[in-house]
Structure 1
Amino acid sequence: MTSPRPDVSARGPLAPLDVSFADDPRVVKEAANEDYSTHIVPLTWRSGRLSLTMTWYALVSGMFYLVTAATLAVTVGTVNTLVGILLAVVCFGTVNYFFSAYAARTGLTVALISQRVFGYVGSVLAPLVLAATAIYYAVFEGSVIAHALHAYTGALNIEMWYAISILSNVPMAIGGVRRWLDKFNGALLPLYWTGLMIVIILAVREYEPSGWLTHTPDVTPDLGAPGWLYAFFVYMGVFVFMMYTIDFGRFGAPKDARYHGVVTFGPVFYLFCYFVNGLIGIFLVLVADTVGAPTETAIGDTVVALMGVWGLGVVWLTQSRINTANYYVASTNLEATVARLFHIRVPRVAALALASVVTYLIMLTDVLSYVLTALAWQGAFVVGWVGIMLTHLIVHRRGDRDGLPEFRPGRVATIAPGAVVWLISSLTGIVLLEFTGTFGSTWSSPVTFALSVVLYLVALRVAGSPLLRRGHDPRDEVDDIWEARVRCHRCDHSYIAAEMDRDPSAEGSPAICADCAGRSRGFRRAVLAEARAACGTHPAGGPGDPGASGTTEPASVGAP
């Protein structure tokens, strides 16, 4: 137990913090499934090197990568496609090197980090976009399983196979990163590569593999850019991997940051994910002389045709591994979205069930008529988020205080300048995509990225700090914000001091955790009133929130 600093709030003396130095057993029990979805991941819950690598490498398997590369090869030629893929490997590997290190250092999710850049309300869109994107990818990958089973057996209707594919995947995403996903995906990774090697061998025996590596299309369409650059821009549409990296990278130990930045989330991963998978996809499609652009289900059907019932196993294995990650990300971000929008707490298992229902309902519709458009629109928001967040990490690489960004719900503005920049850059990308024909189809992503970076740099110079000027910070009352656990007066659970705040809506301003603070309307009203009293000039709610000092220095760092 520690004593509070000799300070007096408007409601009387501050309540003493209830401090301990061991994990709360109730929190640890919940974390087996919850994985600190709405909290900082403490150092005691970080994964080992190999464990996190195996969890993340679930994303290395997916027909999407094979189909994307094969489609590009048919469109712009094999050489141009491979050049574009290598550029993507460098780009993704470099950005995610820094994103994974940042996530390991802070232990924060996409939803929590976004509160610093976009504000208390502005940040709600980030987990919503990420959850929706993960669900759409789950739709695609689940459809591959369903179509392969339907085509091979000829039994049942496709709607039943959709349900079976979902029900076979969702339970595997219930366990958290440390308790299940690493073991499941680690055990199946060798089988995935073995299956693909067998498919290649059978394809060589079945077809005449010649000329696929130098293939060029008879007619190259007008793409508005050189073929290799067009191929690279296509991979920018998968920038959502940057957001995935944050949500998985938070489980990395800070001491392993370099390893994870290179091997787990960096260039080694993308060399396998994009380049090796891409080569296999190009080979399978071109040697089989597939007519027209390949589809994701068509490649799965080819695997089944070559291997029979064993091909069904390869397809299920491939898609189930990647869908564990898709459903995991969808559930954690749905949980964060529901908590903020409706101010209620839902277990991650309930959020996972909701994600599976939404996935099935989308599958039942004419999905291809609108999902590709929806993904393109979401892609604009994802690219904008990445541009802004990358810029923020570079400019504020030391954090606001204690090496962390100020993410706590009671210390950030309602709407931060970053939210305005995000909307402007993303909507610009969507307008280009929808109304400028070939130019927009090719250039919308890079234009969105460039615009988000430039506008955010301008916003940092002309806008005030998006932090509320408040004192009474529990971090000042403990010696080590990562080792000390402080009990939250609302949920009665203890979390590390790094995420705790004082609750001015309660007598004595007792401590409150980030999750309870984010869901409490009373807490939000009280902190805005407290900040107004401290500043006394601006109304609360936007870039002019109390504490907007007009500098990049945090307004809440100083003493009360």
Structure 2
Amino acid sequence: MLEETEATPVAATALSTADQPKRRFNLLVNNPVLEDYSLRYAPRSFRKWGTLAVASAALGGIAYLADFAIGADIIIAHGFSNAVAAILLAAVVIFLTGIPIAYYSARYNIDMDLLTRGAGFGYLGSTLTSLIYASFTFIFFALEGSIMAQALHLYTGLPLPWAYLVCALLIIPLVVFGMTLLAKLQTWTQPLWLVLYVLPFLAILWKDPGAFAAWTHFGGLSPTGASLVPLEVGAGAGVALSLIAQIGEQADYLRFMPDKTRENSGRWWLAVLSAGPGWVILGALKQLAGAFLAFYIFAEVGAQLADQPIQQLLKGFSVLIPNPWLALTVATFFVLLSQVKINVTNAYSGSLSWSNFFSRILHRHPGRVVWLFLNVSIALLLMELNMFAFLNTILGFYSNVAIAWIGAVVADLVINKPLLKLSPPYIEFKRAHLYTINPVGFGSTLVASVLSVLAFFGLFGPVAQAFSPFLALVIAFVLSPLLAVLTRGKYYIARENAAAHTSTSSQGELPLLQCSVCADAYEAPDTTFCPFHEGTICSLCCTLEKDCHDLCKATA
């Protein structure tokens, strides 16, 4: 069966021996390898990977070639100087905003959705950000899948609509087994990917070194040529900033970090910073690489094809490999390898986000794997509609909404918690202790998104239009602490949790508490007391309960 059995309110004494659980989860949910704790705190007993293994898995997904396409589009539209400035500016913003998110996710072992709940959005308020995040995963799945399909089409002649289908279906079996398989896949393929990544550039440096100097004079289609123009820098940075939500996918891996101890503190911080915000260093380098290769083939293939990574890499490998068929084979293999490495992450993170969204809206959880199919299906539809042709517009628009969300979360983590002390110092993610909507994060994201999108469409003039994502970031970052002060932090915690995360500071195995609803045992941070069921309840059963009407928070 795909649905869990409904819980019924009976006295806790009826479950003294756990013989009669009130809810039974199906096999997809009860299998931790398949489910991967998609709606829960990642328990210490499951986190058996070392810091290096988690960081390697998180960075393995950064092999994607969308950066090549994004860098190419920026330099073709805005010229060399504007493109380089835009890429570096966006990278600095993404790096700085990623640090607190990476830390809190690794420290409290929760994914981006659970983190957002406790960082100023409230229990249902974060459903808005679940949709924003889910949109990121299927937009970029479609983009990466399109790049893979272009390579498959060029190599085999398979029509693009069929190539899209093949590239979507190929990913599903690799994602079913979650972190257990993904960690191995990313680790095993990383050395080969790195070698193939640098080969084309080393070959061009060896055989055509003057190309790098000529690149600095490339003006693309910009009316101002290769010169630096602030408005064009802002427009280019807006496209690159669409990747700011990538930190959510990094957090989906970082939640499996081992606990930070005195012995592993240095390794822990290195892993968190490199696999968290550090992804953007490689990302910016790949955008610059794509910008260079677009210039290198621009005169030969024109603006329409110069942003396609397969065309870029084919030319790059051809410099090293004179045989056209062999060069195409190597380029195609590299594209397929890169896109598989990222699209397993896009599909995986999308399944987590949809799980979180629908569990709160429908009070149903058929399992993460079910929502995997939904995410891939939406991405496939975008691919068939040829979203690649509208890349700049789609990413430019999306970045306004994504950066408003990230800005609100970061403001809560770095201002409202440690400085204003209006937000709890820990991350509370359980329904039983959260208000339905916290206006601090939810309100600041909504206002910042609306205003920046209006600016993106030119309502406030050309300057605001060019820098609309930065407008979103500033508004969200200022509005979040302002709303926290105005509300006096009232809407963070609806019901105090005396044991909130206190057990995570202890060493060794954490105590297991039996849920009075599903009768399974969970580590203490994933449980709370439920007056409706008159006993301990796990966070997922609390989420799925629809008959209690938030009895535990009646006074709130």
Q: What TM bracket, shorter-length normalisation?
A: 0.7 to 0.9
Distance 1:348 1:470, change over 3 A: closer
Shift of 1:59: 3.0
Name the residue aligned to 2:244: 239
Residue from 259, 267, 278 that aligns with 2:270: 259
Residue from 125, 137, 153 that aligns with 1:150: 153
Tell whether the 8 Å contact from 1:63 to 1:300 is kept in structure 2 after alignment.
no
**What are structure 2's unaligned runs of at least 5 residues?**
1-9, 19-26, 261-266, 319-326
Residue from 228, 232, 250 that aligns with 2:255: 250
Residue from 534, 545, 554 that aligns with 1:520: 545
What SS is found at the alignment partner of 1:42? coil
Give matches, 1:13-92, under 5 Å: 30-46=31-47, 47-92=49-94
Name the residue aligned to 1:5: none
Name the residue aligned to 1:282: 291
Distance 1:446 1:237, change over 3 A: same
What SS is found at the alignment partner of 2:531? coil
Give matches, 1:492-507, under 5 Å: 492-506=519-533
One-letter identity of the residue aligned with 2:269 = R
Tell whether the 8 Å contact from 1:410 to 1:517 is kept in structure 2 after alignment.
yes
Q: 2: CA distance between counterparts of 1:98 and 1:111?
A: 15
1:420 equivalenced with 2:443 (yes/no):
yes
Shift of 1:327: 0.7
Shift of 1:320: 0.9
Shift of 1:390: 0.7
TM-score computed with the length of structure 2 as normaliser: 0.82
Count of residue correspondences? 509
Shift of 1:99: 1.8
Residue from 126, 132, 137 that aligns with 1:123: 126
Name the residue aligned to 1:542: none
TM-score computed with the length of structure 1 as normaliser: 0.81
One-letter identity of the residue aligned with 2:211 = P
Name the residue aligned to 1:301: 311
Name the residue aligned to 1:112: 114
* Percent of pairs with identical residues: 21
Q: 2: CA distance between counterparts of 1:119 and 1:146?
A: 40
1:510-554, CA deviations, whole angstroms, 9 ceiling, x for partnerless residues? 11111111221223431232xx2xxxxxxxxxxxxx2xxxxxxxx
Give matches, 1:210-359, under 5 Å: 211-217=213-219, 220-221=222-223, 225=230, 227-228=232-233, 230-255=235-260, 256-267=267-278, 269-275=279-285, 277-290=286-299, 293=303, 298-304=308-314, 306=318, 307-359=327-379
One-letter identity of the residue aligned with 2:475 = L
Distance 1:123 1:308, change over 3 A: same
Q: 2: CA distance between counterparts of 1:471 and 1:287?
A: 60
1:363-405, CA deviations, whole angstroms, 9 ceiling, x for partnerless residues? 2225357776554444322111111111111134468899522
1:6-43, CA deviations, whole angstroms, 9 ceiling, x for partnerless residues? xxxxx999999999xxxxxx999722122211111123
Distance 1:394 1:296, change over 3 A: farther
Shift of 1:240: 0.7
Name the residue aligned to 1:96: 98
Q: 1: CA distance between counterparts of 2:424 and 2:44?
A: 15
1:281-321, CA deviations, whole angstroms, 9 ceiling, x for partnerless residues? 23322222346546586221343463122221111011111
1:466 equivalenced with 2:491 (yes/no):
yes
Shift of 1:169: 1.9
Distance 1:229 1:357, change over 3 A: closer
Tell whether the 8 Å contact from 2:512 to 2:522 is kept in structure 1 after alignment.
yes
Q: 2: CA distance between counterparts of 1:145 and 1:12?
A: 55
Name the residue aligned to 1:407: 429
What SS is found at the alignment partner of 1:501? strand
What SS is found at the alignment partner of 2:409? helix
One-letter identity of the residue aligned with 1:458 = L
Tell whether the 8 Å contact from 1:260 to 1:266 is kept in structure 2 after alignment.
no
Q: 1: CA distance between counterparts of 2:367 and 2:77?
A: 45
Shift of 1:280: 2.3
Name the residue aligned to 1:182: 183
Tell whether the 8 Å contact from 2:28 to 2:366 is kept in structure 1 after alignment.
no
What SS is found at the alignment partner of 2:39? coil
Q: 2: CA distance between counterparts of 1:98 and 1:519?
A: 30
Name the residue aligned to 1:433: 456
What SS is found at the alignment partner of 1:502? strand
1:321-363, CA deviations, whole angstroms, 9 ceiling, x for partnerless residues? 1111111111111111121111101211111122222222222
1:451 equivalenced with 2:462 (yes/no):
no
Q: 1: CA distance between counterparts of 2:161 and 2:124?
A: 38
Q: 1: CA distance between counterparts of 2:393 and 2:83?
A: 23
**What are structure 1's unaligned runs of at least 5 residues?**
1-10, 20-25, 533-545, 547-560
1:487 equivalenced with 2:492 (yes/no):
no
Q: 2: CA distance between counterparts of 1:522 and 1:39?
A: 21
Shift of 1:432: 1.2
1:401-435, CA deviations, whole angstroms, 9 ceiling, x for partnerless residues? 99522222011111211212221111111111124
Distance 1:478 1:196, change over 3 A: closer
One-letter identity of the residue aligned with 1:245 = Q
Shift of 1:500: 1.4
